[in-house]
């Protein structure tokens, strides 16, 4: 019996009648916990974990529930943060990699979600993790900056630099900060050691 209900009482009833908490979907290989994480359903995730759900179960793409939560946009940051805390307390691996070697921190940076980035970094996520394309978390937020300016990606850049991110692509870095506004550039100079010529300080 599969467990995909978005209704909390219904999900609990299904579990009581033998629904398989570990059964993945045929197409994506996602478990009930993956679905709860993807949709930000904290109560469901808590229920599934209490019934023994594998916190680090992998989809066919190698995705964990934590990685899926970290894709949430900043407008859902507080709900996503609560869910991230739950998963980490239950033992979720901070640096679990998917099939593209992307970590939850890569995902949070790609979404320009500074709340989740801060959470992951404070708990020891690898700030210089590299995916199969050679992209670090800093690279992810720089790629996203040009079309996510309203999300203030420079805040994520500041966090990454403060936690020891390698300072890559110095000229491109300054140009991207220009895209997010003068405030972002000034913050970049202050937090990341940029000079006003667009080069990294030593």
Is there a domain that residue 136 lies in?
yes
Domain tally for the chain?
A: 1
Cβ neighbours of residue 10 closer than 8 Å, sequence gap 6 or more: none
Inside any domain, residue 34: no
Report the C-alpha gap between 104 and 140 in whole angstroms: 12
The overall pTM is greater than 0.85: no
Instruction: Provide the percentage of residues in the chain whose pLDDT is more than 70.
Output: 73
pLDDT per residue as tens digits for the range 85-94: 999 999 999 9
152, part of any domain: yes
Rounded CA-CA distance 83/37 in Å is 7
Task: For residue 190, give every residue at least 6 positions away whose Cβ sits within 8 Å of its Cβ, in sequence order, or none.
Answer: none
CATH code for the domain of 126: 1.25.40.20
76 within domain boundaries: yes
The answer to the question of residue 94 being in a domain is yes
Average pLDDT of the residues in 35-42: 92
Instruction: Provide the Cα torsion 179, 184, 190, 194; round to 10°.
Output: 0
Quick check: 200 pLDDT over 60? Answer: no
Is the pLDDT at 1 greater than 80? The verdict is no
Over the stretch 94-127, which tens digit does the pLDDT of each residue have? 999 999 999 999 999 999 999 999 999 999 999 9
Domain that holds residue 89: 55-192
Mean pLDDT throughout 72-96? 93
Residue 107 lies in a domain: yes
In a domain, 71, yes or no: yes
Residue 51 is predicted with a pLDDT of 87
Q: Is 137 exposed, middle or buried (0-12, 13-18, 19+ CB in 10 A)?
A: buried
128-133-134 Cα angle (round to 5): 35
> Is residue 169 a part of any domain in this protein?
yes
Question: Using one digit for the tens of pLDDT, what is the confidence trace for 142-194?
Answer: 988 878 888 899 999 999 999 999 876 555 555 555 655 544 444 443 334 33
């Amino acid at each position: 019996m599969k467990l995909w209900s978005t209704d909390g009482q219904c999900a609990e009833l299904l579990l009581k009648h033998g629904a398989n908490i570990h059964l993945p979907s045929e197409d994506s290989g996602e478990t009930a916990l993956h679905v709860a994480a993807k949709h930000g359903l904290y109560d469901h995730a808590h229920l599934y974990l209490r019934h023994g759900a594998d916190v680090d179960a992998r989809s066919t793409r190698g995705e964990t529930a934590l990685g899926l939560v970290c894709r949430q946009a900043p407008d859902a940051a507080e709900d996503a943060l609560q869910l991230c805390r739950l998963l980490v307390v239950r033992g979720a691996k901070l640096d679990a990699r998917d099939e593209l070697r992307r970590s939850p921190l890569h995902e949070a940076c790609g979404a320009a979600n500074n709340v989740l980035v801060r959470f992951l970094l404070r708990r020891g996520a690898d700030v210089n993790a590299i995916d199969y394309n050679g992209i670090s978390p800093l690279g992810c937020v720089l790629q996203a900056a040009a079309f996510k300016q309203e999300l203030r990606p420079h805040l994520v850049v500041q966090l990454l630099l403060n936690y020891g991110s390698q300072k890559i692509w110095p000229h491109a870095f300054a140009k991207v900060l220009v895209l997010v506004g003068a405030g972002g550039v000034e913050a970049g100079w202050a937090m990341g050691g940029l000079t006003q010529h667009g080069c990294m300080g030593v």
